[in-house]
């Protein structure tokens, strides 16, 4: 292919991609940012937006949220609420970013959006509770319910992961799914232990007060 032909091709591409749009467009706006030439940057950004929102965005933002979760511990420290920084709290927040990274990096089975969806739902309710408590709303009775919801979450995670672990047609890493099952069982045990300690003490205290009054 001669140099003349190559030059002609590039000239045609430049014309249809840039010059033509300048000819048929309003010349008064040509010098404004983003309005010079053809709409290719608009199309590119729109496609990037759609890809982020529909494909990579939800998963990526879920991953980022695991680091944002660190902030509640930071707030506890700054407010000197050291009693809130339990072993379960620290272990849970330390494990989740690493596990989420492994999960999205290497897990390829098609239903891996189920667990983040359930987890995001639980965290939405949990942080809504924190927000209401922070602004001084009284008599919020969600706390025990949220802990029960977290327990239900780990049951669902375990059942969901066990299904794919036993599914011979699933093209996924069985080792990762096994770890997900162990993860669900482990955190159910930890949260259930917390639930028993937290709410059995309250029940005992309440019963003690009632007995004393009687």
The candidate with the shortest Cα–Cα distance to 162, out of 102, 115, 93, is 115
Angle at 35 between CA 30 and CA 40, to 5 degrees: 130
Contacts (Cβ under 8 Å, ≥6 apart) of 33 = none
Among candidate residues 92, 93, 160, 189, the one labeled active-site is 92
The candidate with the shortest Cα–Cα distance to 185, out of 148, 146, 159, is 159
Phi, psi of 178, rounded to the nearest 5 degrees: -60, -45
Q: Which tokens hold the place of 44?
A: 């590119």
Give 32's DSSP letter: S
Q: Which tokens hold the place of 115?
A: 């667990």
Catalytic status, residue 92 = yes
Catalytically active residues are: 92
């Amino acid at each position: 292919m001669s140099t003349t032909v190559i030059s002609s091709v590039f000239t045609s591409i430049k014309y249809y991609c840039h010059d033509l749009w300048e000819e048929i467009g309003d010349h008064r706006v040509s010098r404004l940012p983003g309005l010079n030439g053809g709409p290719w940057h608009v199309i590119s950004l729109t496609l990037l937006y759609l890809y982020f929102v529909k494909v990579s965005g939800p998963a990526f933002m879920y991953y980022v949220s695991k680091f944002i979760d660190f902030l509640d511990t930071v707030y506890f420290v700054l407010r000197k609420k050291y009693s809130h920084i339990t072993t379960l709290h620290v272990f849970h927040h330390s494990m989740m970013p690493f596990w989420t990274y492994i999960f999205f990096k290497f897990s390829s089975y098609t239903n891996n959006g189920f667990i983040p969806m359930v987890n995001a739902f639980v965290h939405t309710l949990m942080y809504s509770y924190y927000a209401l408590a922070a602004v001084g709303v009284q008599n919020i009775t969600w706390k025990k319910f949220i802990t029960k919801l977290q327990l239900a979450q780990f049951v669902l995670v375990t059942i969901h992961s066990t299904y794919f672990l036993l599914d011979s047609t699933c093209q996924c890493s069985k080792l990762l799914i096994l770890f997900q099952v162990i993860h669900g069982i482990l955190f159910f045990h930890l949260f259930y232990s917390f639930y028993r300690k937290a709410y059995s003490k309250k029940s005992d205290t309440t019963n003690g007060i009632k007995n004393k009054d009687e």
